[in-house]
Amino acid sequence: MGAVNTRWQRTDAPRGADYDARWSSLAASGQNIHGEADLVEMLLTESGGRTVLDAGCGTGRVAIELSRRGFAVAGIDADPDMLASARAKASELTWLHGDLADPAALAGTAAADLVLLAGNVMIFLEPGTEAPVLANLAGRLTPGGLLVAGFRLQSEGVTLERYDELAAASGLRPVARWASWDREPFEGGDYAVSVHGAPR
């Protein structure tokens, strides 16, 4: 697949090993860097699900941790440099290069009990592609599956109201919303973790 255009490609954010170094430093300082995996594990334990699609997986930090915990995980990302790092760390997992707005990019993925959008994926999408991205990801969910997205709320990005509208248009219902991956109550801050469910 050729180049995929997203807002992420137009940032000067660290890539690959430089990106991973930030998380390694946080872990070395004693911080829990697996909040996303903790929440996903809790949700899947409650639902009985076992399969995860990590959409916007980056260097694979969350996907690799979920695999270590026994879940079947595939990752997809638009950035080949980030994926190269993921493959180097866990070549046994499925890593796909593709545009989340393109249905063909997801055609090779199995239906998942949970689709994860961590790492501010929603605010790095190409403007105007949010609706097809959510529709495509909702289409990869098993009956009763969950779409979980955490992203920063900023004036130039997608609002929670708009996100909920797009999720509803994709056939998903709201399940839960927190201010963080460790389930702090959401009271209108600048970050939200939203859980929406597919019909059974």
- Distance between the two ends of the chain, CA-based, in angstroms? 34
The pLDDT confidence band at residue 22, using thresholds 50, 70 and 90, is: low
Q: Which amino acid is at 108?
A: G
- Tell me what the mean pLDDT of segment 115-129 comes to: 93
CA Rg, the chain, in Å? 16
pTM: 0.86
Q: Give every strand in the sheet of 191-197, ordered side by side.
A: 94-97, 72-77, 51-55, 112-117, 141-152, 191-197, 173-178
- Tell me what the mean pLDDT of segment 156-177 comes to: 95
- Render pLDDT for 62-120 as a digit per residue (tens, 0 to 9): 999 999 999 999 999 999 999 999 999 999 999 999 999 999 999 878 999 999 999 89
Rounded CA-CA distance 140/126 in Å is 21
Rounded CA-CA distance 163/81 in Å is 28
pLDDT at 1: 46
**DSSP annotation of 176:** E
Among residues 111, 174, 173, the alpha carbon closest in space to that of 137 is found at 111
Q: Give Cα 74 distance to the centre of its chain.
A: 11
pLDDT exceeds 50 at position 2: no
Rounded CA-CA distance 148/136 in Å is 14
